[in-house]
């Protein structure tokens, strides 16, 4: 059982790579083993949509459930002799290399969209992180604001990347290279994860900068 729609995302981290790449669909594949890396014949597949706020941890749980259901169907088909394996095609092959800790560090010069995917893709491990006054700050939950949304909030779009712009509707707004990231949950080093509103109560936001 593999957590992608093979041949896309062969390898160690198919769930995380799908989210990091901005895929809107994942799925589970039941395959026969061969000598290659996730290259064996396919017995069955079941697609699963990736929601706009879905994390790797959440997608993992959905795929585990769907995969278990599909595996039982395949076992029954094998017993009946009706399971027909098919070779994987050569088109659409991609590799999901193992996720590394260094990939969790946020580069605020990137777009808010890519950083939001990074936050979701690194949840629950290794967890997206930045620095605040030289100390680790983990970001557990965040969404990207489109430029028009930021404009509607009277948020300056020319602020330096990483600059905290303020708190809106319980979300901590941070300037990115393109767009604004709205953080909902974060965690200081050695502390428990808290809401953005709780974080704002304990920090003076004016002049605060991440990274």
With pLDDT > 90 as the criterion, what percentage of the chain qualifies?
A: 92
Q: At which of 64, 96, 128 does a domain end?
A: 96
Kindly state whether residues 76 and 117 are assigned to the same domain. no
CATH number for the domain harbouring residue 155: 3.10.25.10
Residue 35 counted as domain residue:
yes
Kindly state whether residues 81 and 117 are assigned to the same domain. no
Residue 127's pLDDT band, with cuts at 50, 70 and 90, is very high
Q: Would you report the helix, strand and coil content of the chain in percent, each value rounded to 5?
A: 30, 30, 45
146 pLDDT above the threshold of 90 = no
Residue 211 counted as domain residue:
no
Kindly state whether residues 91 and 105 are assigned to the same domain. no
Cis peptide before 205 (omega within 30 of 0): no
Q: At which of 96, 123, 144 does a domain end?
A: 96
Kindly state whether residues 80 and 107 are assigned to the same domain. no
The label of the residue with tokens 């560090």 reads 105
DSSP code for 159: S
147 pLDDT above the threshold of 80 = no
Kindly state whether residues 111 and 193 are assigned to the same domain. yes
Write out the residue range of the structural domain in which residue 68 sits: 10-96
What's the pLDDT score for residue 158? 77
Residue 1 counted as domain residue:
no
Residue 3 counted as domain residue:
no
113 pLDDT above the threshold of 90 = yes
154 pLDDT above the threshold of 60 = no
What's the pLDDT score for residue 38? 97
Kindly state whether residues 23 and 91 are assigned to the same domain. yes
Kindly state whether residues 105 and 192 are assigned to the same domain. yes
Residue 210 counted as domain residue:
no
Kindly state whether residues 79 and 113 are assigned to the same domain. no
Kindly state whether residues 114 and 162 are assigned to the same domain. yes
For 205, the 3-state DSSP assignment is coil
pLDDT in tens, 37-91: 999 999 999 999 999 999 999 999 999 999 999 999 999 999 999 999 999 999 9
Region 102-118: mean pLDDT is 97
150 pLDDT above the threshold of 90 = no
Beta strands in 32-179 (DSSP E): 42-49, 95-96, 129-132, 135-145, 164-168, 171-175
Tell me the DSSP string of 8-39.
TTEES-HHHHHHHTT-SEEEEEEE---SSSS-
Residue 132's pLDDT band, with cuts at 50, 70 and 90, is very high
Query: What's the CA gap between 30 and 44, in Å, rounded?
Result: 5
pLDDT in tens, 165-188: 999 999 999 999 999 999 999 999
Region 95-104: mean pLDDT is 97
109 pLDDT above the threshold of 60 = yes
What's the pLDDT score for residue 167? 94
Region 155-166: mean pLDDT is 84
Q: At which of 69, 96, 123 does a domain end?
A: 96
For 120, the 3-state DSSP assignment is helix
């Amino acid at each position: 059982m593999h957590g992608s729609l093979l041949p896309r995302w062969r390898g160690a981290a198919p769930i995380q790579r799908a989210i990091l790449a901005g895929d809107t669909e994942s799925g589970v594949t039941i395959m026969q083993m061969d000598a290659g890396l996730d290259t064996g014949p396919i017995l069955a597949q079941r697609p699963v949509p990736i929601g706009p706020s879905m994390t790797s941890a959440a997608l993992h749980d959905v795929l585990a459930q769907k995969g278990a259901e599909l595996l039982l169907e395949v076992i029954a088909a094998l017993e009946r002799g009706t399971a027909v394996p098919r070779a994987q095609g050569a088109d659409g092959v991609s590799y999901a290399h193992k996720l590394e800790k260094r990939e969790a560090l946020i580069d605020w010069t990137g777009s808010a969209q890519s950083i939001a995917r990074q936050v979701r893709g690194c949840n629950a491990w290794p967890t997206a992180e930045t620095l605040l006054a030289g100390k680790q700050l983990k970001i557990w939950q965040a969404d990207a604001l489109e430029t028009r949304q930021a404009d509607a909030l009277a948020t300056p779009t020319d602020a330096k990347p990483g600059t905290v712009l303020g708190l809106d509707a319980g979300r901590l707004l941070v300037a990115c290279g393109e767009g604004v990231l709205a953080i909902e949950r974060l965690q200081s080093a050695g502390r428990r994860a808290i809401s953005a509103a709780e974080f704002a109560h304990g920090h003076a936001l004016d002049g605060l900068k991440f990274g």
